Structure 1
Amino acid sequence: MIGLFNETVVNLFLGIGGILVLATIVAILLGLRHRGNDSATLKNLNQRIGAWWIMAIGLAVTLLIGETAVIVLFLVLSFLALREFLTIAPTHRSDHKTLVWLVYIIPLINYWFLWEHWYGAFSVLIPVYAFLFLPIRNALVGDTDNFLQRAALIQWALMVCVYAISHVPAIMQLPVMMDVGRQTAEGAPLGSGGAEGALLMLFLVVVVQLSDVFQYIWGKTLGKHPVAPKVSPNKTWEGLVGGVLTATAIGAGLWWITPFTWWQAALLAFVSCLMGFFGGLVMSSIKRDRGVKDFGATIAGHGGIMDRLDSLSFAAPVFFHLVRFFFTT
């Protein structure tokens, strides 16, 4: 085994690569068919396929290197997500010292605890200690103008951009917790989740991302009834039902890469995809409130980092704790 790769991980990435190759060929054929026609939909499709290639290759490379590389990858993604979030958020000059803790110190400690497999410390650092410390730090500055709004914004940014997103690599440690006598995996050796942990993480990423893709496809082809028209008119009930059920079926079909039965895999995929949809809806509400289309322009065709991770930020913590609660000994 090299890094977190074994034969099953290789086969899964070959399958993902095959799907992307097929999607690329379809996009090329559509481009030839509509040559000279400046189609916004076709341009967006090509951008999305290109972004999926980058994300798939990036994840494969870090898994090939090992768990440390995956954790560093998500630390960088959390940093970029925080930067995007704070760019559109109304903060004061007096918040700057607090923002140093928010952006540069607390995320490093959070991911260090994750790297050390200190689950207890990882689970309480942000929702308990950082939650209490950050408003104290802001109060010491003495600026009470919109204090509650500013404090809530800082707390929300940390929770969604760091704590929630860091649950994606945390999933790699779940197989250790599922072993008999390793209930908490405190201090377990680095990489002890192995390929099983990588597969569990990939299971979540694949079903949630495919749910987004199929929601887009079903919504474009059949969508007529918006779920929340004032928030995101493009998110329809037809897209939601079609996308979630399609991804749930795929999740059931991928049961063999997980420690679950087919119906358990289907149920976890269903809940994860549903939470992913709500994550996108909440982030759309934030963007609508701030008057922006995307959080950023880091990824062509996808907007910013948070535009790509909005679904996973809601799905990953729920998936992690459902598995930990029901499947660990």
Structure 2
Amino acid sequence: MSKREPEKDFTAVFLRVKTWWGMFAVFCMATLFNPVVSLLSLMVLCFFALKEYFSMMKTRKADRRLFLWSYLAIPVQFYWIYIGWYGMFIVFIPVYVFLFLPLPRLLGKGTSGFLRSVSSTQWGLMLMVFGLSHLAYYQFATPEYGANLVLFLVVLTQVNDVVHYLISIYIGKRKVVPSANPTITWEGYVGATVVTTTIAYFIYPYLTPLDLKFGIISGVLISLSGFFGSLTISVLKRDLLIGDREKLQNVQKSYLTRVDSLTYTSPVFFHVIRYFYEFM
């Protein structure tokens, strides 16, 4: 396309495709080895995703202790996965961390901006740690199918993102939230859903033990949850980086911004499968 239409700038497309292939390679490597290697690699991914998220926040000195406790929650969350304690894995961040995370901020004797810093930090933990940590639990919940389910999820999520972006850029007209993300359109969502569901139909027999009905539903589910994940984090990033256009442009070029859809698709797909299938 760049050779046929040299007057157009395809830099953004090249960058996104490059980062998507990079993520695909990372997840392939993570699923080819044993679950412990996968767990460690995904724990590192969560750490850097959270670190990048914190870099977008306007912080005070009193927030440093809050961030430290947030980082310490990552290995604890992954320890519950390692020992297979599903009950604690599912409530540790949403319940215990949510209730006790404000304590370091209170002990820091800082009241100014308390609600914004604590709530923003909790949002980061929920998305970048709790959401993404589900990717590691697949292989512990079902050792036989876990690696393939992760690969199935990642392939469909990234295909959905690629198609949504390309259709929105070259065909899309009706923007969903133009003030937050000018590239997300309703045409892109519909086109991505059709393509993702079609690919799910063709690859589900090779990567999953799912039946035909749920193989098709998986494509729709991943496309819908990926759409909400991408939209939510787009709004979140722009809210945190209001007035800092240079940092916002740098964030757009990061590999870690490509995990925005996975923060939603990973837990949604996991819990739906766990509810309907006994092998999870």
TM-score (norm 1): 0.77
1:227 pairs with one of 163, 172, 176: 176
Would you say 1:279 and 2:248 are equivalent positions? no
Question: Post-superposition shift, 1:283?
Answer: 1.1
Aligned match for 1:77, one of 45, 49, 56? 45
Structure 2 gaps of 5+ residues are: none
Deviations 1:194-227 (A, max 9, x none): 4x21111111111111111111222233211112
Q: In 2, Cα distance between the equivalents of 1:68 and 1:117?
A: 12
User: How many Å separate the matches in 1 of 2:224 and 2:52?
Assistant: 25
- What one-letter code is carried by the residue in structure 2 that aligns with 1:71? L
State yes or no: 1:123 paired with 2:90.
yes
**Residue 149 of structure 1: how far off its partner (Å):** 1.2
Question: 1:169 Cα deviation (Å)?
Answer: 1.9
**In structure 2, what is the Cα distance between the partners aligned to 1:230 and 1:57?**
33
Identify the match of residue 238 of structure 1 among 187, 209, 225: 187
Q: Distance in 2 between matches of 1:260 and 1:152?
A: 38
Calculate percent identity across the aligned residue pairs.
32
Stretches of structure 1 lacking an aligned partner (at least 5 in a row): 1-29, 176-192
Higher mean displacement: 156-165 or 130-139: 130-139
Please tell me the residue identity of whatever aligns with 2:32.
L
Helix, strand or coil for the counterpart of 2:159? helix
Paired residue total: 275
Deviates more, 1:285-294 or 1:241-250: 285-294
Structure 2 CA distance, aligned partners of 1:232 and 1:108?
A: 33
**CA distance in structure 2 between the partners assigned to 1:305 and 1:101 by the alignment:** 25
Give the deviation of 1:297 after TM superposition. 4.8
Following TM superposition, by how much is the alpha carbon of 1:85 offset from its aligned partner in structure 2, in angstroms?
A: 0.8
Give the letter aligned to residue 162 of structure 1. V
Q: CA distance change for structure 1 residues 128 and 327 in 2, over 3 Å: closer, same or farther?
A: same
Report the Cα offset of residue 296 of structure 1: 7.7
**Pairing 1:264–2:214 present:** yes
Per-residue CA deviation, residues 146-175 of structure 1 (Å, 9 max, x unaligned), is: 211111011111111111111122222343
Structure 2 distance, partners of 1:249, 1:32, is 29
Report whether the alignment pairs 1:135 with 2:102.
Answer: yes
1:323 maps to 273
TM-superposed CA distance for 1:284, in Å, is 1.1
TM-score after normalising by structure 2: 0.90
- Structure 2 residue corresponding to 1:112, chosen from 70, 79, 82: 79
Give per-residue Cα distances to partners, 1:244-286, cap 9 Å, x unaligned: 1210121122221212112211112211211111111111112
Give the AA of the match of 1:113: W
User: Which aligned segments of 4 or more residues in structure 1 are displaced greater than 4 angstroms?
Assistant: 30-34, 292-298
Corresponding residue for residue 155 of structure 1: 122
Q: Which has the larger radius of gyration?
A: 1
RMSD, aligned α-carbons: 2.1
Displacement of 1:294 after TM fit?
7.0
The answer to whether the Cα contact below 8 Å between 1:295 and 1:304 also exists between their aligned partners in 2 is no
